[in-house]
Chains A and B, each alone.
Chain A
Amino acid sequence: MRLSSSKLLLLEKKANDIRQNIIEALVEAGSGHSAGPLGMADIFTALYFHVLNHDPDNPDWPERDRFVLSNGHICPLLYTTMAHAGYFPIEELFTLRKLGTRLQGHPHRKTLPGLESTSGPLGSGLSQAIGMALAGKLDSKKYRTYCACSDGEQDEGNFWEAVMLAGKLKLSSLTAVMDRNNIQIDGNTESVMPLEPLRAKYEAFNWHVIEIDGHNIAQFVDAVNEARAIFEKPTMIIAHTIPGKGVSFMERDYTWHGKPPTKIEAEEALNELRTLEGKIESEHN
């Protein structure tokens, strides 16, 4: 799974396109979460366009890698990435959260092919990923199971029950990636409920831990490759991200956790993304 420099450039461009579609979908929906989806866009792009062994034309392919989104509220990112990967038309993103849509406000496995789980209530995704990894092991399948989770949901007891079990089972086919953006609904994670030292906690539960810059796609791909080479332990990739990444007025501001931009804010956001925060001239201007 080597990442060439030309592929890296393509992925970075793709992540930017995905961020723009997220803003457009959110403004059309009129509700939804902004900060998390923008913050994890680089990692989701790397997953769907480089890491995951999957086939959008055959979403139930038994050998596919499993990808579980635990913090379901960042689904605008999941949907946008899946649309770009070819699971459904990009125009469908504008049905987000509307009556009759396949793109429910929080993801629902039964409505959209390619979703591995139903999520939204926090703290339950890692356990479901464990179940999928165990099923693969029982059936001698080679697929790997990935789980994206948030830092805020580390507050949930259910999450640590799963962490304990994966350590006990030495589930090396399981790789989790945590969006360490330091925000949750009521404020910064370290004031709502301090989580640190996260690395030491996971190591104490018999996990392999890798910390990366969550906006550095090459680092993420390296981390995933490292996880594949670790036996006898599941891996937690702690991805340090900037919530709202790419839109200056959203970055690092926890109040953007659960709201969409207004039309005017969206225009500003799109302009920033198209010009890479003023560094280049937008072709749309």
Chain B
Amino acid sequence: MVKKESNLVKNLFNKELEQKPTRDGYGKGLLEAGKKDKNVVALCADLTESTRTHLFAEAFPERFFQVGVAEQNMVTVAAGLGVSGKVPFIASYATFSPGRAWEQIRTTICYNDSNVKIAGHHAGISVGPDGATHQALEDIATMRALPNMRVVVPCDAVEAYKATMASAHIHGPVYLRFGREKTPVFTTSDTPFLPGRAEIFYQGAKPTIAIVACGSLVYEALKAAQMLKDEGISCIVVNNHTIKPLDEKCLLAVARKVKGVVSVEEHQVAGGLGSALSELFARKHPMSMEFVGMQDSFGESGSPAELLEKYGLNAAGIVKAVKRLKKKNSA
């Protein structure tokens, strides 16, 4: 059952559900954070509208810096601003920032402990026709490995807004991950969101499997749980928006209730959410897992729906993974 306390939209499985890209939430959140705190500044590397930074740039032109197509410079200028009392938000496509600027992020933001918020846009294979060069699939791994960095992957535009606003109040480096495509808006302003806390969205009766997801695939996980229920398989679905630091308490409590965990992410299975979960479970509660994500391959051109289908990153793919895990567990 969808948990009442999660206050998701009423018509959750309705096909007419409103659709918005998570980057819209970033744009709105950044604008709002800028209104609340004059120390919030924004930088962009020639992708102002695409990253929705233009809302902030138009409202606060004196606090917006256009650095041109120069992601390494964007990162390091922000590092200087971030140690000087400013709260810089920097935005580009995730393949470019953090992708191209990893060492600068490591040295001048993380090690230097500069108060920079990195917004990686167009993450995941759902970027679509632009192809593999523009589909960030390794960013969670590269950011998660850095000391001092926090990693947040919002599940829809509403949560993206909350995550952006919240990151302005976290002192230190934060990585926020957003998608290009419109995806269902299924949380509401009343849905609980706290950075660092996982939320159980769906709680089946006597569950045997937990599906732990991040990003827009949380919605696909909910759909999968509903489909599995009809087949007599009961699941828990966790919205694990914060991959670092993990909400160990919630995740271990969930793991103890079930016989297996399926991780779900629009990211390589190496180094992402699934890896983070398996590190936790291996240490504190060993259990069998399946990993829904990119299986060590690049993406390609195609429509978002076609690509998600081909690579198994949708409700049907999650259902298959749950069944694989059930089979493995009963063998």
Q: Which chain B residue lies CB-closest to A125?
A: B76
Given contacts A134-B81, A165-B67, A118 and B76 within 8 Å (CB-CB): no
Which of B103-111, B261-269, B307-315 sits within the interface?
Answer: B103-111
Is the pair B76, A158 in contact by a Cβ cutoff of 8 Å?
Answer: yes
Is the pair A128, B68 in contact by a Cβ cutoff of 8 Å?
Answer: no
Total interface residues on A, CB under 8 Å, equals 31
Which chain B residues lie closer than 8 Å to A109 at the CB level? 83, 112-113
Q: Which chain B residue lies CB-closest to A131?
A: B80
Min CB distance A6 to B, Å, is: 36
Is the pair A127, B80 in contact by a Cβ cutoff of 8 Å?
Answer: yes
Min CB distance B70 to A, Å, is: 4
A108, A110, A134: the one contacting B80 at CB < 8 Å is: A134
Is the pair A110, B41 in contact by a Cβ cutoff of 8 Å?
Answer: no
B179: Cβ under 8 A from any A Cβ: no
Report how far A118 CA is from B104 CA in the complex, Å. 11
Report how far A269 CA is from B81 CA in the complex, Å. 41
Is the pair B107, A119 in contact by a Cβ cutoff of 8 Å?
Answer: yes
A119, A121, A133, A161: the one contacting B103 at CB < 8 Å is: A121
Which chain B residues lie closer than 8 Å to A130 at the CB level? 77, 80
Majority SS of interface residues in chain B? helix
Number of A-B contacts (CB under 8 A): 99
A110, A118, A138: the one contacting B108 at CB < 8 Å is: A118
Which chain B residues lie closer than 8 Å to A131 at the CB level? 76-84, 86, 88
Scan residues 52-68 of chain B and give those whose CB is less than 8 A from a CB of chain A: 62-63, 65, 67-68
Given contacts A138-B86, A158-B72, A158-B73, A132 and B113 within 8 Å (CB-CB): no
Majority SS of interface residues in chain A? helix
Min CB distance B71 to A, Å, is: 9
Total interface residues on B, CB under 8 Å, equals 29
Is the pair B63, A138 in contact by a Cβ cutoff of 8 Å?
Answer: yes
Given contacts A118-B107, A165-B67, A135 and B80 within 8 Å (CB-CB): yes
Q: Which chain B residue lies CB-closest to A121?
A: B107
Scan residues 104-150 of chain A and give those whose CB is less than 8 A from a CB of chain B: 108-110, 116-121, 124, 127-136, 138-139
A164: Cβ under 8 A from any B Cβ: yes
Is the pair B80, A165 in contact by a Cβ cutoff of 8 Å?
Answer: no
Report how far A101 CA is from B318 CA in the complex, Å. 51
Looking at B79, B84, B85, B113, which has the most chain A CB atoms within 10 Å of its CB?
A: B84
Report how far A117 CA is from B72 CA in the complex, Å. 16
Is the pair A162, B77 in contact by a Cβ cutoff of 8 Å?
Answer: yes
Which chain A residues lie closer than 8 Å to B86 at the CB level? 131, 135, 138
Is the pair A138, B41 in contact by a Cβ cutoff of 8 Å?
Answer: yes
Q: Which chain B residue lies CB-closest to A129?
A: B80
Given contacts A127-B76, A130-B80, A135-B84, A108 and B108 within 8 Å (CB-CB): no
Which chain B residues lie closer than 8 Å to A118 at the CB level? 107-108, 111-112
Looking at B65, B72, B78, which has the most chain A CB atoms within 10 Å of its CB?
A: B72
Scan residues 151-197 of chain A and give those whose CB is less than 8 A from a CB of chain B: 157-158, 161-162, 164-165, 169
Residues of A within 8 A of B (CB): 66, 68, 108-110, 116-121, 124, 127-136, 138-139, 157-158, 161-162, 164-165, 169
* A-B residue pairs, 4 tightest by C-beta: A131-B80, A135-B84, A127-B76, A161-B73
A-B contact pairs, 23 of them (CB 8 A): A68-B80, A108-B111, A109-B112, A110-B111, A117-B112, A118-B108, A120-B107, A124-B72, A124-B76, A127-B75, A127-B80, A128-B77, A128-B83, A128-B108, A131-B76, A135-B80, A135-B81, A138-B86, A158-B72, A158-B76, A161-B67, A161-B70, A164-B68
